[in-house]
Structure 1
């Protein structure tokens, strides 16, 4: 004899306690996920079939497995059902309702107003159409230009700094490669032009070769007088 508790059969109560509540999230275990997919897929296909028979409706169902394998059910013809769906959606897109037309018209008018405002602002920033501007509008435009110029200069300075830093890093790499090549060839590593200029031997002004004689000619080419200026 079946016993009951609060009007529910004991077997039904035990079933509710065992099953519990399923959490709607991805199943992490691959085996459990595949088993659940197979069971739920078959149940979904069965429900689609029952719906088509009980309610006399046209049903088309397509399922792709995680590996891309298709499963489908169609109460009549899958291709005909898909074509029917496409015709239906196309008719709805090409025949908007009066309410949709009004909304589209309002949206178009708002967009045109925004475009006009942006165009007027652009002309002001280019220095055009300023005749109708008030003093406050001119001050606001000037502030916008100064702010934009400040941002542009800051960005320009940052680009220069980044390029200089990149060139310095490249110079270090090339210097290291040059040192390795010179070491392999048994040569002294090349030093920069600045270091070379500093390492040049200075000319000794006290040496005889440093004396220079200067000749100065006075008068016409035929009768010019030669004067020799001795060095100090």
Structure 2
């Protein structure tokens, strides 16, 4: 005959009794009314939680901090580094996250405001340009037209002054350029004159040496050369042949 199952540590003496534990069945999670049973369960679960925290920090190389206060106000803590350091790190991470979102919102609002200002400025500039071009003046009053005329006169005065300033600067530049070109021209003329004098000297020296060479040369006449060649040719006489024949017969 089987004995009745023992009451679980979470079962109390009053009506708030937890579900009975049969084998590896689940236990109903709710407050344990019995003080003794609640204290025993706290000790067991606390030790198991500390063990799990230690295993998590070792196996996964995680920074773990565990803080537990009992119902009586007693503190139990565990940390593989430092509880205070881990809490400060948590505060910083949480602050950075909130600050980053806040900064993003502030930047978005700032950009929207700047965009609206730029759009308004563009619209005003476009209207002003149309007015200066003679457009959109039908609805303007006499006072506004007078002010516009004054602005245009003032602008034209500035334009003329700037145009004259540029014109004078251009004239001054052209005058300086003219002086530079004149100086360059004078320099080139001096170089040309110097070159011409050098050529005249070379021509004079060449003419003197040529005349001396001509004086020392023998006058060349093709007829004299032909006459000289004729005189140098051997003369043929028939008597010489007869003499040679006579000498050969005697031998």
What TM-score results when the alignment is normalised by the length of structure 2? 0.35
Structure with the larger strand share:
1
Structure with the larger helix share:
2
Greater relative contact order: 1 or 2 (C-alpha under 8 angstroms, separation 6 or more)? 2
Structure with the greater alpha carbon radius of gyration: 2
What TM-score results when the alignment is normalised by the length of structure 1? 0.38
